[in-house]
Amino acid sequence: MECAERPVRVRVNRCRCRRHPRLNTGREEAKVKATVYHGPADLRVEYKKDPEIEHPFDVILRVTTAALCGSDLHLYRGLIPDTRVGTTFGHEFVGIVEEVGPGVRRLRRGDRVVVPFPIACGSCFYCRRDLFAQCENTNPNSELACGVFGYSHTTGGYDGGQAEYVRVPFADVGPMKLPDGISDLDAVMLADVFPTGYQAAEMGEIKPGETVAIFGLGPVGLFAAKSAWLMGAGRVIGIDHVPDRLEFARQWACTDVLNFRDIDVVAALKDMTDGRGPDVCIDAVGLEADGSALHEFLGRVLMLQAGAANVIGYCIDAVRKGGNVVLIGVYGPPWNLVPIGTAMNKNLTLRMGQCNVHRYLPHLLEHVEAGRVKPSEIITHRFSLDDAPHAYRLFAGKLDGCRKAVFEM
């Protein structure tokens, strides 16, 4: 959509003393451009109220690069509970610190940072155990999830980074300063998809020489494949049905590939592993997998389950006895049709969870600096923020080979 001419952004001087509130100058309120949700498949670019320092440990970030994630599509399609009109999406972003709350000690104006998608306090029971994605102080619904940028009121109602400016709480805990040699395009992949893929491989407890099967060759699945090699896998098999994704995974992540629409994928995986099945199976698809008619009716018509959970079934059926199944694709909180009895009878270990990005950032930055992984190579499309509605339509329809899209401000 066309936006009206942008008003002049007024910078209000802030007192850094804890005892004094921000000064009221009486000037007209500034506005910032952002993506705004108006209902399923209705995303617009509009002007919103300028984000403000609301807590001593906040910073305001001028966003320089934001990414469009597959899980943003769950919101876009109306599949995530309590996604309210007016929400700004975006949980993958990089930017420059513009304003600093009086309690912030680690950051200063002008620092360039990448921000993890989970919002974590750093001091609660879970944060002290490096379970940052389970933080109990950043979301009133903490029994369901921690706070997450741009991901519905189920995760705290925080506006996301597909905007010119964004408020970042607990700024001494989350944002990581970036060295000059790391580009924005590489850095933005560290906010979610690279750490999430890495955690998936880590949860699989891959031993040297083992075979790993990864369902879903979007960005998370691709980084899970790269990470499996870093952890010593002997063979990595990628499963998808989109031809250009299969070809890219074969070339970039050095995987064998299977198109699940052409074969019986469980039988094929067993044939490739002496009849036993892979040692580790990773579900990097989540709730939008193609499912059976029953899955479709329950998940997408009646909304009684969180999408179609058939990839979990593939993983459980395909993995060898005593193997590991990892769920890293996003599922909602309701029940799902999952063959848990089969998993029990096969002595499987199931591991899952939102990514504890803070835990992995320093290590993954080392991999990027050493040249072992070039995260930006998965990006296929670069847009201005004004093009966000078109970018969402393109990505949602898997059109024009759109694998990973970013917005450059």
At 159, is the secondary structure helix, strand, or coil? coil
| Fold designation for 31-192+356-408 | Quinone Oxidoreductase; Chain A, domain 1 (3.90.180)
What does the DSSP 8-state code read for residue 297? I
Domains of the chain, by residue range, sit at 31-192+356-408, 194-352
DSSP assignment of 175-228 equals -EE--TTS-HHHHGGGTTHHHHHHHHHHHTTPPTT-EEEEE--SHHHHHHHHHH
Per-residue pLDDT of the chain (409 residues; tens, 9 = 90+): 333 333 333 333 333 333 233 333 333 566 899 999 999 999 999 999 999 999 999 999 999 999 999 889 989 988 787 889 999 999 999 999 999 999 999 999 999 999 999 999 999 999 999 999 999 999 998 788 899 999 989 899 999 999 999 999 999 999 999 999 999 999 999 999 999 999 999 999 999 999 999 999 999 999 999 999 999 999 999 999 999 999 999 999 999 999 999 999 999 999 999 999 999 999 998 766 555 555 555 555 555 444 556 788 899 999 999 999 999 887 665 555 677 788 878 888 899 999 999 999 999 999 999 999 999 999 999 999 999 999 999 999 989 999 999 999 9
Topology (CATH) of 194-352: Rossmann fold (3.40.50)
Q: Residue 343: phi, psi to the nearest 5?
A: -60, -40
- Decide: 14 and 22 in contact? Cβ < 8 Å: yes
First to last CA, the chain: 17
pTM, to two decimals:
0.87
Q: Which residues contact 67 (CB under 8 A, 6 or more apart)?
A: 90, 92, 93, 188, 189, 191, 192, 193, 404, 405, 406, 407
Please state the φ and ψ torsions of residue 45, each to the nearest 5 degrees: -110, 120
The candidate with the shortest Cα–Cα distance to 75, out of 288, 369, 317, 250, is: 288
Q: By 3-state DSSP, what share of the chain in percent is helix, strand and coil, each rounded to 5?
A: 30, 20, 50
